[in-house]
Structure 1
Amino acid sequence: MQNTQHAMFVSLCLSALAGASAGLLFGLPAWGATAGLLGWGSYQIRQFQKLQTWLQRNDGTAPPEATGYWGELLDELARTQKTDRGREQSLQAIIRRFQQSSAALQDGIVIVDRNNNLEWWNRSADKLLGLKASSDRGKPVINLLRDPRFIRYFRKGQYAEPLELPSPVNSDLHLQYQITSFGEGDRLLVARDITRLRRLEQTRQDFVANASHELRTPLTVIRGYVETFMDQDLPRPLARAMGQMQTQAIRMESLVNDLLLLSRLESSNHIADEHQIQLRPMLEQIHQDAQVLTQTQQKDHAISLQLDSDFDLAGQELELHSAFSNLVFNAVRYTPARGRIALRWWTDASGGHFSVSDDGIGIDSIHIPRLTERFYRVDESRSSSSGGTGLGLAIVKHVLVRHGAHLSIDSRPGKGSTFSCHFPPEMLVDAADRQTETAGSH
C-alpha cells in the first residue's frame, strides 16, 4: 500500500511537471501544470471506473488491463478475490455437508437465537415438532411449542436435566428435550423420540404394580391367620415362630405398599394438580410420629422441630408427607440410641428448604450418589434389621422431582448426616394468603 501511494504521488508530480514544461513553450507554465493535473485526474477516474465495474460484476473474470500501480492493485485484488471465493466455496461445502448429515439424524435439531426466535432446524424437527420452514422461521420458539411445562423449562435456563413431554403434533410420541447454550445467547434444542423407551418403562412399571397388587391378597390372608394364631395360648417355640412370621408379613406389606407408591410416582414427572399444603400441622404430626417410633424402638432420641418460615408449599399433600416422613423415620431407624435428630423448615431467596439432621454414624461419600437407588443399602445387615424396605429414598427422590425440587445429602462418617429437600420459589405460598381466604369464606 505504501509503495502504491508513493507511486501515485510520483506520477502526480511528474504529470504536473510535464504540464508546466509544455506550458513554458507558450509562456504559461501554471496553466500547463493545471492541464497536466487535469489529465492525470481524468486517467485516475477512468481507471477507477474500470475497477468499480469489474468489482460489481464479481463473476470471476480477469481484471481489466492496466499498467503501473493500477495494474499491481488490480492483480492484488484479483488474487484476494480468488482466495475469498475458494474459502466461500469451502464453507458452502461444509454447510451442505452439515445439512445433509443433520437431515439424516432421527433427532430433531433446532437452533434458537439470542432473541428466542427459530433460526434453523432439520427435517426431523418438522416431523417431531411440526415446524414449517415456509412460515415458522424467525418466530419465537415458545409461540410454537406452547406446552406450559416446556415454556417454564426454556425460560428457567437450567438445562442440566432433560425434559420429557408428548410431541406437540402427535400425543402418541414422547419426546425428550435437551437444550445446550452456545455462542452469545444462542441455544441448541435437541428433541429425541423416546416413545419406545417409555413403552418399555411403562411395561416394567405395570409389571411391578400388578405383581405388587397381586401380593397384597395372600399377604393379607397370611397376616390374618398369624394374628389369629397369636391370640391363642401357644407353646413358647411356636409363639416365637408366629411372632417372627408376623414381623416379616408386616415388613412384606410395607414393601408392597412402597412398590405400589413408587410405581405410581414413576408414571409421571409432574403432579396433576396443586393444592396449598399447611406445612406446620403436617411437620408437627411427623414430629410426634417420630417420637412415638423412637419410644417404640427404645432409642430415646432427642428430636427437635424448628419452623423458621410461615410459607407453605403448593403440591400434593400425601406425596410430600410420605417424602418428609421417610427422611425422618430413616433418621430414627439408623441413628444410635440417645442421639439427636433435628427437623427444620426455612425459606430464603432460593426457595423453601426442609432438612433432617442427625449425629449418627454418618455415610461414606462413595455411597451417597447411589442412596436414592431402589433397594440400595449401605449396610445390608443393619438395614434389614431396622425394618426398612430400601425404597424410602427412591420415593423421596421421585416425589421431589414431581414438585420441581431436589434432594441434597451431606454426610461424613462419625459426623452424622443431613438430608435436605430444596423447593423452587414458585412452589412457595404465603400462609397469610390462606388465612385471609379462610377468613373471607366465613
Structure 2
Amino acid sequence: MHVSRHAMLINLLLCALASLALGALFGYPMAGLAVGLLVRSIYHAQRFSQLSEWLQREDGSEPPEAKGAWGDLFDELARTQKRGRSREQYLRGIISRFQQSSAALTDAIVIVDNQNNLEWWNRSADRLLGLRAASDRGKPLMNLLRDPRFVRYYRKGHYQEPLELPSPVNGDIRLQYQISHFGEGDRLLVARDITRLVRLEQTRQDFVANASHELRTPLTVIRGYLETFLDQDLPRPLARGMNQMQQQARRMESLVTDLLLLSRLEASQHISDEHPIFVQSLIRQMHEDAQALSMDRGHSFVVEVDSNYDLLGQENELQSAFSNLVFNAVRYTPDNGTITLRWWADTEGGHFSVTDDGIGIEPMHIPRLTERFYRIDESRSSASGGTGLGLAIVKHVLVRHDGHLTIDSTPGEGSTFTCHFPPDMVVPVRDAD
C-alpha cells in the first residue's frame, strides 16, 4: 500500500504536467491543467464507485479489474477481506462448538447481564427452569424464578454456599443453584439436578431416624430396671457398676435424641414458616439453665442483650442451637471461669455469641468442629457427657434460618462462638409484639 500511494502521487504529477503542457501548446496552459485534473478526478470517482459497490455486495466476489495503484488497492482489500472471512468462520466455529457442548450438558446454564436480565441459556435450562427462548430472552430473571428463597439468595450476593430448591417446572426434581460473578456485573447461574443424591441422602436420614427411634424403647426399659435396682440396698461393687450403666444409658438417650433432632433438621434446608422470637426471654431462660448446670463450679455469667431487636424463625430450633453453645461453654470452661452471652443487631443482621475464657481451641480443629462426632479430645468430651452432635445441630439450625456460625478461639485464652442472621430475619421489638 505504501508503494501504491507513491505511484498514485507520481501518476497525478505526470497527469498535471502533461495537461499543463498540452494546454500550453494551444495557448491555454491553465485550462489544459484544469481539464486534465477533471478527467483524472472522473477516473478516480469511477474507481471509487466500483470499490464501494464491491464492498457493499459482501458476497465474496472477485474485486473489479483495474490497473496501477487502484489494482493494487483492490487486490490488497480482497486479501484483507478474505482473511476477515476466515477469522469470522473460525470464531463462528468456536461459538457453534460452545453451543453444541453446552447443549449436551445436563446442567442448566444461564447468563444474566448486569441488569439482572436473561441474556443466554442452554437447552437444559428450558427443561429444568422452564425458560423459553422465543419469549423470555431479555426479561428479568426475578420475573421467571419467583421463589422467595431464590430471590433472597440471589440478592444477597454471597454465593459461597449453593442453594437447593425444587424445580419451578417439576416439584419432584430437586435443583442445586450455584451463582458466580464474571465480567462487569454479569452472573453465571448453574442449576444442577441433584434429585438422585437427595433421595440417597433421604434414605440415609430415614435409616438413622428409624434406628434412633427403635433404640428409644429398649433404652427406656433398661433405664427403668436400672433405677429400680439402684433403689435397692445393693453391694457396693454391684451398685457402682449399676451407676455406670445408668450414666451410659442416659448418654445413649441423649445421643438418640440428638440424632432424631439432626435427622429432622436435615429433612429441609429452610424453615417452613417464621414467627417472632423474643430473644430476651430466650436468653434469660438459657442463663438460668446454665447456672443450674454449672452448680458449684463457680462460673460467672455476663449477659448483654440488645432489647430493641428480636428474631424471626422457629423458636424450638433456635433454643436448641443457642443452648448447645451455652451448655458447651459451661462443660468446657474451667471452674471459676467467665461466660458471656451477647445478642445485638447492626447493619449486617443479628448476632448471638457465647464467649468463655477456657483453654481455647487449636486452629487446625476449628474447620471440623461442626462435623458429626468430631471431638478434639475424646476423653474430655466423654467425661463431659457430650454426644458430639451439638455443633452439627447448631450448623443445621443456622442454615435453615439463612445464617452461619463463626468460631474465634485462641489456645489458652478462650473461645467465641457467634451465630449470624441476615438483616431480613431481624425485627424491631415493636413489630414483633
Equivalent positions of 1:105-120 (< 5 A) are 105-120=105-120
**1:22 deviation in Å?**
1.9
State the one-letter code of the partner of 1:434.
Answer: A
Change over 3 Å in CA distance of 1:92–1:144 after alignment to 2? same
Per-residue Cα deviation, 1:366-420 (whole angstroms, up to 9, x for no partner):
1111100011100000000100010000000000011111001111221211111
**1:150 deviation in Å?**
1.3
**1:178 deviation in Å?**
1.0
Change over 3 Å in CA distance of 1:160–1:89 after alignment to 2? same
Per-residue Cα deviation, 1:137-191 (whole angstroms, up to 9, x for no partner):
2222222222121122222221111111111111111111111121122222111
**1:239 deviation in Å?**
2.4
State the one-letter code of the partner of 2:177.
Answer: Y
3-state SS of paired residue (2:255): helix
Checking the alignment, whether the CA contact within 8 Å between 2:280 and 2:307 is kept in structure 1 is: no
Q: 1:424 aligns to what?
A: 422
Checking the alignment, whether the CA contact within 8 Å between 2:325 and 2:354 is kept in structure 1 is: yes
Checking the alignment, whether the CA contact within 8 Å between 1:303 and 1:341 is kept in structure 2 is: yes
Which one is further off, 146-155 or 311-320?
Answer: 146-155
Per-residue Cα deviation, 1:279-315 (whole angstroms, up to 9, x for no partner):
01111111111111111xx321112111145211111
1:78 aligns with 2:78: yes
Q: Distance in 2 between matches of 1:384 and 1:349?
A: 40
Q: 1:438 aligns to what?
A: none
**1:7 deviation in Å?**
4.3
Equivalent positions of 1:26-425 (< 5 A) are 26-295=26-295, 298-425=296-423
Q: Distance in 1 between matches of 2:33 and 2:306?
A: 95
Please list every run of 5 or more consecutive structure 2 residues that lacks an aligned counterpart in the other structure.
none
Checking the alignment, whether the CA contact within 8 Å between 2:23 and 2:29 is kept in structure 1 is: yes
Q: Distance in 2 between matches of 1:8 and 1:285?
A: 97
Q: Distance in 1 between matches of 2:74 and 2:163?
A: 58
**1:84 deviation in Å?**
1.0
3-state SS of paired residue (2:134): coil
State the one-letter code of the partner of 1:395.
Answer: I
How many aligned residue pairs are there? 433
TM-score (structure 1 length as normaliser): 0.94
Please list every run of 5 or more consecutive structure 1 residues that lacks an aligned counterpart in the other structure.
436-442
| Identity across the alignment (%) | 70
Q: Distance in 1 between matches of 2:431 and 2:189?
A: 39
3-state SS of paired residue (2:114): coil
Q: Distance in 2 between matches of 1:85 and 1:434?
A: 67
Q: Distance in 2 between matches of 1:70 and 1:181?
A: 51
State the one-letter code of the partner of 2:312.
Answer: A
State the one-letter code of the partner of 1:30.
Answer: M
Q: Distance in 2 between matches of 1:390 and 1:46?
A: 91
Checking the alignment, whether the CA contact within 8 Å between 2:310 and 2:432 is kept in structure 1 is: no
Which one is further off, 372-381 or 246-255?
Answer: 246-255
Q: Distance in 1 between matches of 2:405 and 2:254?
A: 23
3-state SS of paired residue (1:134): helix
Q: Distance in 2 between matches of 1:283 and 1:353?
A: 13
Q: 1:439 aligns to what?
A: none
Checking the alignment, whether the CA contact within 8 Å between 2:301 and 2:338 is kept in structure 1 is: yes
Which one is further off, 74-83 or 12-21?
Answer: 12-21
Q: Distance in 1 between matches of 2:77 and 2:134?
A: 39
3-state SS of paired residue (1:135): helix
Per-residue Cα deviation, 1:235-288 (whole angstroms, up to 9, x for no partner):
322322222222222211111111111001001110000011110111111111
Q: Distance in 2 between matches of 1:44 and 1:116?
A: 53
**1:5 deviation in Å?**
4.8
**1:4 deviation in Å?**
5.0
Q: Distance in 2 between matches of 1:6 and 1:316?
A: 85
Per-residue Cα deviation, 1:297-334 (whole angstroms, up to 9, x for no partner):
x3211121111452111111111111111001001101
Which one is further off, 181-190 or 370-379?
Answer: 181-190
Checking the alignment, whether the CA contact within 8 Å between 1:341 and 1:359 is kept in structure 2 is: yes
Q: Distance in 2 between matches of 1:80 and 1:206?
A: 69
Q: Distance in 2 between matches of 1:380 and 1:111?
A: 49
Q: Distance in 2 between matches of 1:8 and 1:308?
A: 86
Which one is further off, 416-425 or 5-14?
Answer: 5-14
3-state SS of paired residue (1:177): strand
Q: Distance in 1 between matches of 2:125 and 2:48?
A: 50
**1:49 deviation in Å?**
0.8
**1:9 deviation in Å?**
4.0
3-state SS of paired residue (1:106): coil
Checking the alignment, whether the CA contact within 8 Å between 2:307 and 2:429 is kept in structure 1 is: no
Q: Distance in 1 between matches of 2:224 and 2:293?
A: 24
State the one-letter code of the partner of 2:199.
Answer: R
Change over 3 Å in CA distance of 1:196–1:434 after alignment to 2? closer
Checking the alignment, whether the CA contact within 8 Å between 1:408 and 1:420 is kept in structure 2 is: yes
Provide the aligned C-alpha RMSD in A: 1.6
Checking the alignment, whether the CA contact within 8 Å between 1:367 and 1:378 is kept in structure 2 is: yes
3-state SS of paired residue (1:90): helix
TM-score (structure 2 length as normaliser): 0.96
Checking the alignment, whether the CA contact within 8 Å between 1:166 and 1:174 is kept in structure 2 is: yes
3-state SS of paired residue (2:133): coil
Checking the alignment, whether the CA contact within 8 Å between 1:309 and 1:347 is kept in structure 2 is: no
